[in-house]
A and B are shown apart, each in its own frame.
Chain A
Amino acid sequence: QVQLVESGGGVVQPGRSLRLSCAASGFTFSGFGMHWVRQAPGKGLEWVATISYDAINEYYPDSVKGRFTISRDNSKNTLYLQMNSLRAEDTAVYYCAKDPGDGYNFYFEYWGQGTLVTVSS
């Protein structure tokens, strides 16, 4: 069965960096697009990034463009999110999610359990 396990969250000061990881299993990772979605405490869902199955294409909303970078290592079945210049408003639970296809379906078929990122001095 599909399993997505995020790690790397924690408390970080504003302006600093953090890298999240998502270990995938139960499917052919290299054949599917992947996403990051976040949820601030008590708030709704916000899409953060998408990467195609072959890592050729990446997509971001303006709120994180230029600060966050999504990447993947298909040899390790692992998805990453490099977050730089963190702000208080980036505080959220970050979920990785699997696309049902190559990455261009742009919806979230399976989700990990999430990892909490807190940006605070």
Chain B
Amino acid sequence: DIQMTQSPSSLSASVGDRVTITCRASQSTTHYLNWYQQKPGKAPKLLIYAASSLQSGVPSRFSGSGSGTDFTLTISNLQREDFATYYCQQSYRTPLTFGQGTKLEIK
């Protein structure tokens, strides 16, 4: 199975900041890496697919990059509604696997 490891597990930031979350795969997933946002009590929401493609309707302050085993999600100009938990997920092969999540909190 492909293990996905996110860092950091939690992060404090302020409105207007730029933050970066890292996701590392235990083996190459080429560009088959996706990012989700989840708010408390809500379903996850797709943000980025195929490592760097922005899902329709997602603000452009979200961006993704990387390939192979190392990927990043960057949020520029943090807004209050961005404080949530973020998950990466590999879609390279089954079993599909997620990172453990990164909780982004307000400083």
Contact = CB atoms under 8 A, between A and B. Distances in A.
Interface of A: 37, 44-47, 50, 59, 61-62, 95, 100, 105-114
Nearest to B93: A106
A44 B96 CA distance: 13
- 8 tightest CB-CB pairs across the interface, nearest first? A111-B43, A106-B91, A61-B95, A47-B96, A107-B91, A107-B34, A45-B98, A44-B101
B95 A62 contact: yes
B44 to A, nearest CB: 6
A46 B97 CA distance: 7
A95 B89 CA distance: 15
A108 B44 contact: yes
26 contacts: A37-B44, A44-B98, A44-B99, A44-B101, A45-B36, A45-B44, A45-B87, A45-B89, A45-B101, A47-B96, A47-B97, A47-B98, A59-B94, A62-B95, A95-B43, A95-B44, A100-B49, A105-B91, A106-B91, A107-B34, A107-B46, A108-B34, A108-B36, A108-B46, A110-B46, A113-B42
Interface residues of B, number: 22
B45 interface: yes
A95 B43 CA distance: 8
Nearest to A61: B95
Residue of A45, A62, A106 with most partner-chain B CB within 10 A: A45
A110 B49 CA distance: 12
B100 interface: yes
Nearest to B91: A106
Nearest to A6: B43
A109 B36 CA distance: 10
A59 B95 CA distance: 8
Interface string B28-69: 000010101010001111100100000100000000000000
